Structure 1
Amino acid sequence: MNVIEEKNRVILEGIGDDFEPQHVFDCGQCFRWIRQEDGSYTGVVQGRVINVKKENGNIILDNTNKKDFEEIWFDYFDLGRDYTVIKKELKAMDEYLDKATDFGKGIRILRQDGWEMLISFIISANNRIPMIQRAINNLSEKYGKCIGEYSGKTYYAFPTPEDFKNATTEDIRACQTGFRDKYIKGVVDYVNENNEDILSYRNLDTDECTKALIKFNGVGPKVADCIALFGMFKYDTFPVDVWVKRVMEEFYVEDNLSLPKIRKFALDKFGDLAGFAQQYLFYYARELGIGR
């Protein structure tokens, strides 16, 4: 991969098929990346606004520079990991993963902020993506720090626990969080009152990490697995939602198997690559309507 800086943007040459913006941003792992009319995606990460598109085989990161690329984006987009090797290992497991990895060949698992993932996936429970995005955007506008304008739109950082400190349950509900308002309020109060460092959960093993997350009201096993995978970098976990359940029943397990048993089957089969397998299978199932 060759990195070129020019005119407030960074161009990544030679990245091949291992980074397709649509695959990355539409595979269910993130909520602050919005598709634009030209097919690019604009997102808010670590108090910065960035636009990503693929053009002539190159990835173009707009509204940034090489310094931020080295300090933020290289890690955030997991560019130090060879996804060609991961896909080769998964393909060797069975024909279903062979097809799924081809279909979602450009997926990369973003290394996102654990605190933001905790609140975001609480909001995601029994919710549709446009509503999740709206609630997160409303919370950011109301409580987050203003970053500035990009392409005529004002953007806000995701609120820190301190930013949320004086928010009431009613205030949070007004941001269209629905019944999850009390769960968000509970997490905010616990973190502020106990000076809890959510990012320290990354230092726990996967089982300890998910147990630490489940202590929060509003965080069940699936939500805990999502937070662990996308915010705590626990790649040996396997969130099971409705689409994953469908694809697992279609290809691997008997119908009506319990979610914990599906999860255990997946962890035993996919091992340390379970989180990657989950993303390829999820995207494959949802986009093609498998098991619907």
Structure 2
Amino acid sequence: MVIKGAPEWRKLPSFRWRKINGEWTSTLHGRILSLRQDHLHLHYRVTWPDPPPWPLTPSALNAEVQRGDDTEDLLRRYFSLDLDLGALYEQWSRADPNFGRRAPGFTGVRILSQDAWEALLCFICSSNNNISRISQMAHKLCKHYGPLIGHVGDEALHDFPTPDSLIGKEVESHLRELGFGYRAKYIAQTARVVALEKPALWLESLRNPEHRGPRDYEVPEGPRATYKEAHEALLSLAGVGPKVADCIAQRDYKFGKSKTKTFNKALYDAIGDHFRDIWGKYAGWAHSVLFAADLREFSNRTRKTVVKAEVKTEVKVEETEDGTALDVDRAVKRRRTRQRV
């Protein structure tokens, strides 16, 4: 997901972010987030329902200020803000002349640490599909099966539905009515497997242990799945083929698998190994930069001959409504609102 400039937000596979009143807005883990960015700061506003639709995190239930701290941490993990993206671009450019030629016009592309369940369903929806239609399907899932979080203006915003909310007998037929086609069967079957057959936090347990996910604090300590184990586990789900499994493994679990067209398994694995050898542990991220460079929407973007590192952002100290200063020295700053649903 590109965060250096607003026009790119809807063009990469984020699926649920929309521009409302000049801000990029979505629901995320029981809250509404509205984001805007200047050349130094990522600004966000969080709107909580009252009461929250479910327990969010231990810290989120203690005090309003802790809620804000939880949101900042969530955003840092969601956008992988603690990684030095400029250094990664330089590494990939040194290793791959093609990357060095094409990437300078696409600085700021970031891989999201999405919720595992959301990533799974969105990529099931991606089969033989385009980004615009996948986004529409994601919004329909939220509108019809997700809890209402609140409103931005006249627009109602729902969170992403849980597996339990998609196991009803009429889910498949209803999704077909909504335009999901054959994917409706895959979604209904996968929801039943995850909700009724797999242990709690099964999807989260497949995440690469080097990268924290939104619910990692809930996963018991112990051995974690390797890339191959996570890939095979995802392939056991309805509607998940090798390419979709790799998309999920990269988008949510941060395994560095390259995404390619459909080949036999030996060739598929060989091509993935080739690009991992070139780009290293974040090969999937490097591939996503080149994916962005190939999108038609960006065909007129000026190519430059040098790679620009991202400018490190800082937070300004602002006063709260009661006149006290917010003591923060991080890369984002926040404003909080609350509304009743």
TM over 0.5: yes
Q: CA separation in 1, counterparts of 2:108 and 2:129? A: 26
C-alpha contact 2:26 2:157 (8 A) present in aligned 1? no
How far does residue 224 in structure 1 lie from its aligned partner after superposition?
0.6
Aligned to 2:156: 154
**AA matched with 2:191:** V
From 281, 287, 291, the counterpart of 1:278: 287
| In the alignment, structure 1 residue 215 sits paired with structure 2 residue 215 | no
Residues 1:200 and 1:77: Cα distance change in structure 2 (over 3 Å)? same
Q: CA separation in 1, counterparts of 2:254 and 2:242? A: 16
| In the alignment, structure 1 residue 20 sits paired with structure 2 residue 4 | yes
**AA matched with 1:195:** K
From 247, 258, 280, the counterpart of 1:226: 247
Aligned to 2:40: 57
How far does residue 19 in structure 1 lie from its aligned partner after superposition?
4.1
Q: CA separation in 1, counterparts of 2:261 and 2:135? A: 18
Q: CA separation in 2, counterparts of 1:35 and 1:262? A: 37
SS in 2 for 1:63: strand
Greater displacement, 167-176 / 87-96: 167-176
C-alpha contact 1:134 1:176 (8 A) present in aligned 2? no
Question: Deviation string for 1:170-229 (max 9, x for gaps)?
Answer: 022223211111111110111122134211111311111111111112111111111111
From 260, 264, 269, the counterpart of 1:240: 260
C-alpha contact 2:13 2:131 (8 A) present in aligned 1? no
Aligned to 1:47: 30
How far does residue 67 in structure 1 lie from its aligned partner after superposition?
1.9
Aligned to 1:132: 134
Q: CA separation in 2, counterparts of 1:99 and 1:26? A: 24
Q: Among the aligned pairs, what percent are the same residue?
A: 27
Residues 1:80 and 1:23: Cα distance change in structure 2 (over 3 Å)? farther
Question: Deviation string for 1:85-134 (max 9, x for gaps)?
Answer: 11111111132212333121111111101111111100011112221111
How far does residue 285 in structure 1 lie from its aligned partner after superposition?
1.5
TM-score by length of 2: 0.69
| In the alignment, structure 1 residue 263 sits paired with structure 2 residue 272 | yes
SS in 1 for 2:182: helix
C-alpha contact 2:235 2:241 (8 A) present in aligned 1? yes
| In the alignment, structure 1 residue 35 sits paired with structure 2 residue 19 | yes
Aligned to 2:78: 76
Q: CA separation in 2, counterparts of 1:205 and 1:231? A: 14
| In the alignment, structure 1 residue 104 sits paired with structure 2 residue 88 | no
**AA matched with 2:198:** N
Q: CA separation in 1, counterparts of 2:21 and 2:152? A: 15
Q: CA separation in 2, counterparts of 1:118 and 1:56? A: 33
How far does residue 49 in structure 1 lie from its aligned partner after superposition?
1.7
Residues 1:35 and 1:96: Cα distance change in structure 2 (over 3 Å)? farther
How far does residue 23 in structure 1 lie from its aligned partner after superposition?
7.7
Q: CA RMSD in A?
A: 2.6
Aligned to 1:183: 186
C-alpha contact 1:147 1:156 (8 A) present in aligned 2? yes
Q: As a proportion of its length, which structure holds more helix?
A: 1
From 114, 117, 123, the counterpart of 1:115: 117
SS in 2 for 1:265: helix
TM-score by length of 1: 0.79
How far does residue 34 in structure 1 lie from its aligned partner after superposition?
1.8
**AA matched with 1:133:** S
C-alpha contact 1:77 1:109 (8 A) present in aligned 2? yes
Residues 1:23 and 1:262: Cα distance change in structure 2 (over 3 Å)? farther
Q: CA separation in 2, counterparts of 1:68 and 1:146? A: 21
* Structure 1: gaps spanning 5 or more residues: 1-17, 246-257
* Structure 2: gaps spanning 5 or more residues: 48-66, 208-223, 301-341
Q: CA separation in 2, counterparts of 1:279 and 1:75? A: 18
- Structure having the higher Rg: 2
Aligned to 2:203: 198
